[in-house]
Amino acid sequence: MPARTHGRPRDSRTHAAILSATVALIVDAGYGALTIVGVAARAGVGKDAIYRRWSGKPELVYEAVFTSADADPIPDTGTLIGDVTILVERLVDEFAAPAAAVALPGLLADFADQPALRMRIREDLLAGVKARLVEVFDRAAARGELVADVPVELILDSLAGTVLFHVGLVGAPVTPELPRHLAAMVVTGIKTR
Amino acid sequence: MPARTHGRPRDSRTHAAILSATVALIVDAGYGALTIVGVAARAGVGKDAIYRRWSGKPELVYEAVFTSADADPIPDTGTLIGDVTILVERLVDEFAAPAAAVALPGLLADFADQPALRMRIREDLLAGVKARLVEVFDRAAARGELVADVPVELILDSLAGTVLFHVGLVGAPVTPELPRHLAAMVVTGIKTR
């Protein structure tokens, strides 16, 4: 028991050291050049310490670059458009963060052949955003803002896809208005009669 | 002059043979395994014939997998939502075509470090879709369907990003309803009061 109790903090420091070495190497040299051996050297651990925790480079990088979303509180501005704007701002922050922006295209390419990994993009990267969207729509329904069922999966793919495409793939600049404009489009559509 | 006149059809046959060899190799073996030498062998040409036309593998693959959109007529169903649905169906067909779906993640990864190539995604792959969207919105405005200016670039990124994310990256199945649902979301938004 004492050994196990002592072991945990060291284990968690090792874990954190590996993740931060991974982020630093991605920012320095890009996703393509990153190797498990290189991460081990930078983190000051053996490569076995990495392989015990992650089955390969894509899994390691995935965890290193996408970390924050689940800790954020659910927005509650009083309007659907206000809440969705905040959720989009967080997606922009997540995808536009230096390590994520550098890693994403290569990471997605490595994920492409592996259906189980691709599923994780939706099921765990976006699960936090989805839970927040559902809550935000439930509140809007309770306020009487919504008149129909909301296609949550489609909205999630649209918000994530637009941000990913705009920021991560085309590399278009992120303007401060982007989250609000995107939220407005999804919530109210193009203004039609 | 006669030499030039005779030269063109042969040149255009060579061009087509290279593009179809590229598509066949992508479908057979994936983007990562494709080499210029392999394409040359399959097309029955020297590799110089390829390098005279394309500066590298991403440029060649890009042209080979994205070919059709500009030839399609502008939809004119009489309603904005009907027209946008058709444009989304074409994006789905384009991104879900076997060679495109296989090549996209790797192609985007190779494009990531090259701003000039990234720009082409928007400026030429999507230019045809954008011209069609503008025409479709102009007609909707003439019919009195629109009450405000339309953020065409944002809509384009949203439609392309959603389709790319849904089909190309997450690998979600394409349901027949997807184009209509996505068009409805963009045109009318989530149904709000």
Count of A–B CB contacts within 8 Å? 167
pLDDT at B109: 84
A190 touches chain B (CB under 8 A): yes
pLDDT digits (tens, 9 = 90+) for A116-138: 777 777 777 788 888 999 999 99
Residue that is written with structure tokens 């839970």 in the block? A131
Q: Kindly report the number of other CB atoms within 10 A of residue A26's CB atom.
A: 25
A148 CB neighbours in chain B (<8 A) are: 190-191
B144 touches chain A (CB under 8 A): yes
pLDDT digits (tens, 9 = 90+) for A29-66: 999 899 999 999 999 999 999 999 999 999 999 999 98
Residue that is written with structure tokens 């209509």 in the block? B180
Look at B190 and A187 and tell me if their CB atoms are within 8 Å: yes
pLDDT at A69: 54
B7 touches chain A (CB under 8 A): no
B118 CB neighbours in chain A (<8 A) are: 169-171
What stretches in chain B show pLDDT beneath 70? 1-8, 67-70, 171, 193
| DSSP letters spanning A111-162 | HHT-HHHHHHIIIIITHHHHHHHHHHHHHHHHTT-B-S---HHHHHHHHHHH
B182 touches chain A (CB under 8 A): yes
Is the predicted pLDDT of residue A8 greater than 70, yes or no?
no
Average pLDDT, integer, range A64-77: 80
pLDDT digits (tens, 9 = 90+) for A95-113: 888 898 888 888 888 887 7
pLDDT at A4: 47
Look at B169 and A118 and tell me if their CB atoms are within 8 Å: yes
- A16 burial class (0-12, 13-18, 19+ CB within 10 angstroms)? exposed
pLDDT at B3: 44
SS3 sequence of A84-108: HHHHHHHHHHHHHCHHHHHHHHHHH
pLDDT at A70: 62
Look at B170 and A109 and tell me if their CB atoms are within 8 Å: no
> What is the rounded CA–CA span in Å between residue B38 and residue B178?
37
Higher pLDDT, B152 or A69: B152
pLDDT at B190: 76
Token pair of A168, please?
Answer: 């991560």
pLDDT at A5: 47
Q: Which domains does chain B have, with CATH numbers?
A: 2-56 (1.10.10.60), 66-188 (1.10.357.10)
pLDDT digits (tens, 9 = 90+) for A128-168: 888 999 999 999 999 988 877 888 888 998 998 898 888 77
- In chain A, whose CA is at the least distance from the CA of B190? A187
Look at B157 and A150 and tell me if their CB atoms are within 8 Å: no
- On whether ipTM exceeds 0.85, the answer is no
> What is the rounded CA–CA span in Å between residue A191 and residue B128?
24
> What is the rounded CA–CA span in Å between residue A147 and residue B38?
56
pLDDT at B69: 54
Cα angle at A173 between A172 and A177, to 5 degrees?
A: 115
- pLDDT bin (cut points 50, 70, 90) of residue A3 is very low
A189 touches chain B (CB under 8 A): yes
B108 touches chain A (CB under 8 A): yes
> What is the rounded CA–CA span in Å between residue B170 and residue B161?
12
- pLDDT bin (cut points 50, 70, 90) of residue A7 is low
pLDDT at B126: 81
Is the predicted pLDDT of residue A6 greater than 70, yes or no?
no
